[in-house]
Amino acid sequence: MPFRVCFVCTGNICRSPMAESVFRARVAEAGLDGLVKVDSAGTGGWHEGDGADPRTVSVLEAGGYEGGHAARQFHADWFAELDLVIALDAGHLRALRRLASTEADAEKVRLLRSYDPAVASASGADLDVPDPYYGGLDGFEECLEMVEAASPGLLAAVREQVEGQAA
């Protein structure tokens, strides 16, 4: 059974599809694509069925990532099938932990930037990936940089779990 990771932001059209695309590429580069399933969702369903924001697609494509996506809303019953739920900001973290029906499910929820050693080790660091939706393209580029910076640490943590399951 693959290790399942789901990235979650607000509407699943900006940050979480960006994180999904970047992390899926990192998983493939690491040769783990058959062992790790990567997905994304939003805390709300306003954009369900929509593609990613065109600015997200543009930034992803410029970075050499795939941009295909259809938005969907996260549901509490997904916890049973997920190993890790990655929130893009503290508001998502709180919302997801409120949805969790058990402590074990709540413990599956982590902030993406907590995997970025440069940020996570800084005292009082802001671990949010800011929502770029109401800004310009530069906000999306900044989000991509944050996602890319956290991805190696997340990949190392996931690899450790996958290798632990195989042992």
Active site residue 9: yes
The one catalytic residue among 6, 15, 53, 128: 15
Active site residue 110: no
31: left (phi over 0), alpha (psi -120 to 50) or beta: left
Place of tokens 């393209």: 137
Place of tokens 């991805």: 151
Active site residue 131: yes
142 φ, ψ to 5°? -65, -40
> Using CA atoms, how far apart are residues 28 and 36, in angstroms rounded to an integer?
9
The one catalytic residue among 6, 9, 14, 143: 9
**CB 118: neighbour CB atoms within 10 A?**
11
Alpha helices (H) in the chain, listed in sequence order = 15-29, 54-62, 90-99, 103-107, 117-120, 137-166
What length is written for the chain?
Answer: 167
The one catalytic residue among 50, 72, 97, 131: 131
State how beta strands 109-111 and 3-9 pair.
unpaired
Using the 8-state DSSP alphabet, how is residue 7 labeled?
E
Q: Where in the sequence numbering do the catalytic residues fall?
A: 9, 15, 131
